[in-house]
Amino acid sequence: MLQIKLFGEILVLVLGAFGIATMWEAVIADVEVAILNAIRIQRMKF
């Protein structure tokens, strides 16, 4: 699932480089990946 979100973030990065994606789309993609990372870290056992 994380790979799908990372692909989405890379897609927004590429679209933003060509001026197609907006800044808000990039922010939303970053927040989604950050939330998934936080959930993944909480599931880890130390």
Tokens of 45: 């056992």
Instruction: Encode the chain (46 residues) as per-residue pLDDT tens digits.
Output: 667 777 888 888 899 889 898 888 888 888 888 888 899 899 988 7
Kindly report the pTM of this predicted structure: 0.64
Angle of CA points 30, 7, 35, to nearest 5° = 35
Residues 6+ apart with CB under 8 A from 29: 5, 8, 9, 12
